Amino acid sequence: MRSKSVNYSDELSAMIQNNEIDTLQIKQFFREGEINFGKSETKTKPCKRYLIENSIDGVQKTLTVKNCTEKIIIESIQ
């Protein structure tokens, strides 16, 4: 996933613009986060959906990411 182009959903783009989260925090999910395979949808086509768990400022969060053939789409953070 790290080598593909990254796209943000409208919801996440708004959060970045409103300084609710920054792209460095999002990248931290890919470096340090844990994929929750039990809740991820790894067999869907054309894009698989992964839930990556990590903490931001001591608060546990889940990043939802669609992994498509040529790009990833970061859908939400909760």
Going from N- to C-terminal start, the domains of the chain cover 5-77
Decide which of 3 and 11 is more confident: 11
Which pLDDT does position 57 carry in this prediction? 86
Pairing outcome for strands 48-56 and 34-35: antiparallel
Dihedral over alpha carbons 27, 58, 50, 30 (to 10 degrees) = 20
pLDDT tens for each residue of 52-71 = 999 988 899 999 999 998 89
Query: Which residues, 6 or more positions from 34, have their beta carbon under 8 angstroms from its beta carbon?
Result: 52, 53, 54
